[in-house]
Amino acid sequence: MFSKSILGEKVEEMLKKTYWIVLIFSFVLNLIIACGVNSSEVDQKLIKEWSQTVGLILIPAEYPKNYGTFFVCESETGFAYGITAHHLFLPKVYIDSLNSERKYTTATAYYSDGNASRKMICNISQSFPDYDVVNFYPDSSEIAKNSQFTFTSLKYSDLDSATEIRLLDEVIYFGFPHGLGASFTERRNDPVVRKTVVSLVSSNSNYFWIQSLAGKGSSGSPVYSLRTKKLVGMVLSIFKDRDTDLTKVLRADRIRQLLKR
């Protein structure tokens, strides 16, 4: 049986240990919270930067029949192109045959230049119908008229080429579903931003699927990984069963191939 003095010493020693454990735990918890805040701030900065590369595209330039989203990215040689889905340039009667020679060749692009929205007539540069992707550039007459325009573009290195797409990876994508967020006046474009996860990854496939029902106008939307902070793909279409909230995404390395040509 412990004497009163020995018992008091044991209790005092235990209280000291408990104090230091609580102190250390509190420090670690505050550090985690602080890191979480910083991480959130970084994400908000990235979201703003990524959204500035996104615009609305209407096809064809005269009497538009289709519309979607595009993003601006530099090629391997540093020339900036608009990137979007190839099927947007096809008349509806040919939409199921991506390799059809019948396609529109012009488009009107609305993009943000600083705090304002700008309009520019564009032409197809190259198409990659097997993967449903196309790039385009401003018409030469537009370049002459808008020699001072500025826009934000992704670097070629911002396109993910090696990282494995993982199930349940968190991703975000930007677009103009049903025209939401688009501006046809001097007000800048504000694309809709959505966060979701990767739901299906097929081995040896050029595509993966995300858990989201992308509406009309979302084709061409850039998809970013919150894990790698890189562009991992581009929205193409929703699953044909409209009750299934899955969206098909083209892997970014196929876009890199187009930008190497």
Question: Where residue 132 sits, what CATH number does that domain have?
Answer: 2.40.10
Cβ neighbours of residue 93 closer than 8 Å, sequence gap 6 or more = none
Are residues 163 and 253 located together in one domain of the fold? yes
Backbone dihedral angles phi then psi of residue 239, each to the nearest 5 degrees: -65, 140
**Structural domain contains residue 30:** no
Residue 260, H or E segment: helix 252-260
Are residues 166 and 255 located together in one domain of the fold? yes
Answer yes or no: are the C-beta atoms of 224 and 39 closer than 8 Å: no
Q: 245: which strand partners?
A: none
Rounded to whole angstroms, the Cα distance separating 216 from 178 reads: 5
Are residues 245 and 177 located together in one domain of the fold? yes
Closest CA to 111 of 63, 74, 152: 152
Rounded to whole angstroms, the Cα distance separating 128 from 130 reads: 6
The residue segments making up the domain with residue 59 are 54-145
* Residue 8: predicted pLDDT: 52
Backbone dihedral angles phi then psi of residue 204, each to the nearest 5 degrees: 55, 35
Single-letter code of the amino acid located at 138: P
Rounded to whole angstroms, the Cα distance separating 242 from 226 reads: 27
Please tell me the pTM assigned to this model: 0.78
**Structural domain contains residue 92:** yes
Preceding amide of 91 cis, omega within 30: no
Helix (H, G, I), strand (E, B) or coil at 201: strand
Residues of the chain under the 70 pLDDT cut: 1-42, 92-102, 113-116, 141-151, 162, 185-187, 238-244, 261
**CATH assignment at residue 227:** 2.40.10.10
- Among 145, 175, 195, the domain boundary falls at 145
State how many domains the chain has: 2
